Amino acid sequence: VDFDGANQKEDKFIVLQNLIKVLWSKNREELAAIYGGASGRKIFYYNTKTKDTSPYDTSIKALAFSKTNDKIAYYSSSDLQNTNSVFTANPNGSDAKMIFNTRVKDIRVEWISSNQIAISTAPSAFVSNVLWVLNTETQKLLPALSQIYGFTMKWAPSGSKLVFSQTNSKGANLALFTTNQTGTEVKNTNTATLPEKCVFSAQDENIIFCAVPKSAPDIVWPDDYYKYLYSAQEQIWSLNLVTGKN
């Protein structure tokens, strides 16, 4: 079936063992499939039109498709290859170009506009997190947020704003915040949920819809959520990021 629900047809069902996540290109013809398992994390490239498939280099730890171009950005870390850098490349990983070298380990990448990539440290309640915005053309790196525990994020489709989570250093007191791209207009939404449980309205980026637990469980945020230890009854809330009303 197409993404708009048209052209439905029956096909052979294939079980994808240990599939964790699928990342799609802007034209929905190419994807990166992330798998877990006893042998470790693996990422594969698929082209749904040509049926081409191949594994990405094992040094690639995080990957994101551009929203406007046929490109990916990825974070590569390998002691053997002596790399700890961010690259841009074609969707299948060819024609790679290093755009940022760093000493920071285990980072995340997200393409937020045609020439901007968000780079953040791995989310955890026990380590303060940092967010930067990298210009792929000038290779200029600008800090946006820092010293935030329990940090995860979700960007608006335009890349002009984001929502992010924050906790204390023990993973408690979860709160959802919003800010602009530069991190200079931080506001508390007074909502206890994670950005992963929210979506931006297609009509107005100042409106988000979030699944919010009726009573936040006593777990370590976001670590225990990623360990599938989260369980709660939820309500769907509509939040206005400008007025703060829900």
Query: In DSSP terms, which residues pair with 211 in a beta bridge?
Result: 236
Burial pattern 82-100, b for ≥16 Cβ within 10 A else e, equals eebbbbbbebbbeebeebb
Confidence (pLDDT) at 10: 59
Report how far residue 118's alpha carbon sits from residue 108's, in angstroms, rounded to the nearest whole number.
Answer: 8
Identify the pLDDT of residue 89. Answer: 97
**Size of the chain, expressed as the number of residues it contains:** 246
Query: How many Cα neighbours within 13 Å face the side chain of 19?
Result: 11
Q: What one-letter code names the amino acid at 135?
A: N
Q: For residue 119, what are the contacts with CB-CB under 8 A and spacing of at least 6?
A: 75, 86, 100, 107, 108, 109, 131, 132, 133, 134, 141
DSSP conformation class of 226: H
The Cα–Cα gap between 121 and 57 comes to 21
Structure-token pair, residue 27:
């034209």
List, in order, residues 6 or more apart from 218 with CB less than 8 Å away: 172
What pLDDT tens digit does each residue of the chain (246 aa) get? 665 667 666 555 456 788 999 999 999 999 999 998 888 889 999 999 999 999 999 999 999 999 999 999 999 998 877 789 999 999 999 999 999 999 888 899 999 999 999 999 999 999 999 999 999 999 999 999 999 999 999 999 999 999 999 999 999 999 999 999 999 999 999 999 999 999 999 999 999 999 999 988 899 999 999 888 999 999 999 999 998 877
The predicted structure's pLDDT at residue 83: 80
Looking at 138-214, list the stretches that DSSP marks H as alpha helix, in order from N- to C-terminal side. Answer: none
Distance between CA 193 and CA 27 in Å, rounded? 31
Answer whether 125's CB lies under 8 Å from 220's CB. yes
Distance, CA of 172 to CA of 204 (rounded, Å): 31
